[in-house]
Amino acid sequence: MIPHEQFRMTPSRRAILDGISGAACHPTADEVYEMVRRALPRVSLGTVYRNLELLTRHGLIRTLADGRGQRHYDAVLEDHCHVRCEACGRVDDVRVTSPGQLVDAVEDGGGYDIHGYRLSFTGLCPDCASERERSAPGRQLEGGDDESQGNED
Amino acid sequence: MIPHEQFRMTPSRRAILDGISGAACHPTADEVYEMVRRALPRVSLGTVYRNLELLTRHGLIRTLADGRGQRHYDAVLEDHCHVRCEACGRVDDVRVTSPGQLVDAVEDGGGYDIHGYRLSFTGLCPDCASERERSAPGRQLEGGDDESQGNED
DNA sequence: ATAACTGCAAAACGTTTGCGTGTAT
DNA sequence: ATACACGCAAACGTTTTGCAGTTAT
């Protein structure tokens, strides 16, 4: 969060901001690109990335480097928690009880100067869960390959 | 976690496993590569990546896609929490009170089928904290540009 | 004989950057 | 006039993949 440095709220930045705010779940850079292009067909992906970074630096959005692959972007600035679908990678919000006490729960930080926390859950989003149920009802299908544990954090 | 599929504990895999277990903090792929090469100078980076993925799939290690940039690898399989240094990217363990209750704390998962959690903290590791103190004692230096909040999760 | 494993180099992926031009102040 | 912003295309760092040769079973 860089306090002293001015920048213009240009059409592309407005569109990026609106796109992220209006999205159903937290979009990736190229999903933002798609959304912005519907309003401004000539924007480039480079500009989208440049502005996602700038908006993050100025505290107007948050960048979630949550999982594997792409980052996700979030227009909600308050501290909150996320779920990431293990199957499709989609990221949504979760509400948890008393998340503010999480930092206090640290018993041994090994000398780290702790600034914040990040709590995210993994699981299956409604769509992927029902799709999985359709293709393997009750798990009666051919063995193995469960992977539900998710060793990739 | 794929249960039924055999694989050989080859020298390179053994070395990767040992390297991760013996490392001071959770290493990245090329740190693992470095370590393995000390024992087996002819291994390729491709093999290291292939085997990190295989060992993860078989539940022998965990892949931490924690932050920006590189992934980190962890030989401790039990659920536990991490800290990532905002300055150098290093990842270590933290102990927190009753982490097992975290999943129970979810009030509204929005229809997700939640399998696990990932709690990590951000902050400054001892080295970076003391370096920062040396270069800006008490923060009396030139203004602005703190960034300590860290909008990049 | 077969399946698993490897080194090597090329490709893929998501992201960043340099440059020349355009636009707001 | 100046600083900021952009499109475009090239470059980047990390990870994955295809292929041809090697090794264990």
Each residue of B44-67: pLDDT tens digit? 999 999 999 999 999 999 999 866
Would the CB atoms of A95 and B107 count as touching at under 8 Å?
yes
B70 touches strand D (CB under 7 A): yes
Rounded to two decimals, what is the model's pTM? 0.84
Q: Which residue is nearest to nucleotide C8 (CA to C1')?
A: B44
Query: What's B147's DSSP letter?
Result: -
B2/B58 same-domain check: yes
Distance between start and end Cα atoms, chain A: 27
Pairwise CA distance, residues A123 & A85, whole Å: 5
Within a domain: residue B153?
Answer: no
Strand C nucleotides within 7 Å of a protein CB: 4-10, 13-18, 24-25
Mean of the per-residue pLDDT values of chain A: 84
B55/B14 same-domain check: yes
B43/B23 same-domain check: yes
Nearest nt to the A152 alpha carbon by C1': D15
Would the CB atoms of B144 and A98 count as touching at under 8 Å?
no
B1/B73 same-domain check: yes
Count of the separate structural domains present in chain B: 2
Identify protein residues whose C-beta is within 7 angstroms of any atom in strand C.
Answer: A 8, 28-30, 45-46, 49-50, 52-53, 69-71; B 5-8, 10-13, 40, 42-47, 50-51, 54
B60/B89 same-domain check: no
Would the CB atoms of B107 and A123 count as touching at under 8 Å?
no
Q: Please report, rounded to a whole number, the percentage of residues in chain A having pLDDT higher than 70.
A: 83
Q: Are A54 and B143 in contact (CB under 8 A)?
A: no
Distant-in-sequence, close-in-space partners of B115: CB < 8 Å, separation ≥ 6: A86, A121, A122, A123, A124, A148, A149, A150
Residue A150 pLDDT greater than 80, yes or no:
no
What SS3 class is residue B120? strand
What SS3 class is residue A57? helix
Provide the pLDDT for residue A106: 81
Provide the pLDDT for residue A14: 98
A78: closest chain B residue by CA = B151
Distant-in-sequence, close-in-space partners of A108: CB < 8 Å, separation ≥ 6: B94, B95
Q: Give the CA-to-C1' distance from A45 to C23 in angstroms.
A: 20
B64/B90 same-domain check: no
Query: What is the nearest CA distance from A153 to chain B, expressed in angstroms?
Result: 5
Within a domain: residue B152?
Answer: no
A56 is in which domain, residue-wise?
A: 1-77
- Which residue is associated with the tokens 């008490």? B138
A97: closest chain B residue by CA = B105
Show which of residues 78-107 on chain A sit within 8 Å of chain B, judged by CB atoms: 83, 85-86, 92-99, 102-103, 105-107
CATH number at residue B57: 1.10.10.10
B73/B91 same-domain check: no
A45/A108 same-domain check: no
* Nearest residue, CB atoms, B106 vs list A64, A96, A125: A96
Choosing from A77, A96, A115, the residue where a domain stops is A77
Provide the pLDDT for residue A130: 87
* Nearest residue, CB atoms, A122 vs list B56, B67, B116: B116
Residue B82 pLDDT greater than 70, yes or no:
yes
A16/A65 same-domain check: yes
Q: Which of A92, A120, A151 to mutate to test the interface with B (most CBs of B within 10 A)?
A: A151
Distance between start and end Cα atoms, chain B: 27
pLDDT band, very low/low/confident/very high, at A4 (cuts 50, 70, 90):
low
Within a domain: residue B146?
Answer: no
pLDDT band, very low/low/confident/very high, at A41 (cuts 50, 70, 90):
very high
Within a domain: residue B139?
Answer: no
Within a domain: residue A143?
Answer: no
Query: What's A108's DSSP letter?
Result: E
Provide the pLDDT for residue B27: 96
